[in-house]
Amino acid sequence: MSTPNLQTFQDQVADLLLRHRSLLDVLSKCGQSDSSVNRAVTKAITECGCLEVHAKRQPYQPEMDLDQAKHSLESHLQGHLCENCKDVIRAELGKHLFYMSALCNLLDIRLDEVVKQESSKCSTLGVFNLS
C-alpha cells in the first residue's frame, strides 16, 4: 500500500471521527495524544533502556560558524530505539496526527497547506528556524 497524501488522510479522519466531534473534545484529545508521544519516548529511556539521555549545557558560542555549531551542539541522546519502542512511538505519533487532522477539519484548514507553508518557511529561514 502506498503512502496516502495528507488530504486523503485528512478526509479519512473526517469520515471516521464520530465520537469526538466537538472542538473541545478534539482539542483535549490533541493535548492528550501529544503527552502520550512524550510518555512513549520517556518509557524508551526509563523502562526499556534502549535510549539514554546524557544532557549538559550546550557549548554554544555566538562567534561559532554554522559548521562548528553543527559539530558541537548535541542531541544528548545515546543509543537507538529498539523496534518495539519505535513501533509504540510511531503509533502514538499517528494518533497525534489523527487528532491534529481532526482539528484541521473542524477549523477548515488543509493539513497539506500547513506542511507546504512550514516547508517554505524552513527553506527561507534555513538554519535559523531551529528555535
Binding site for Zn ion (CB under 5 A): 44, 48, 50, 82, 85
Helices (H), 44-82: 66-72
Shortest Å distance, C-beta 37 to Zn ion: 15
CA-wise closest residue to 13 among 88, 87, 109, 90 = 109
C-beta of 39 vs 70, nearer to Zn ion: 39
Report the alpha-carbon distance of residue 100 to residue 33 in Å, rounded: 9
Shortest Å distance, C-beta 6 to Zn ion: 29
Cell of 28: 483535549
Report the alpha-carbon distance of residue 121 to residue 114 in Å, rounded: 11
C-beta of 37 vs 104, nearer to Zn ion: 37
Q: Helix, strand or coil for residue 53?
A: strand
C-beta of 59 vs 94, nearer to Zn ion: 94
Shortest Å distance, C-beta 85 to Zn ion: 3
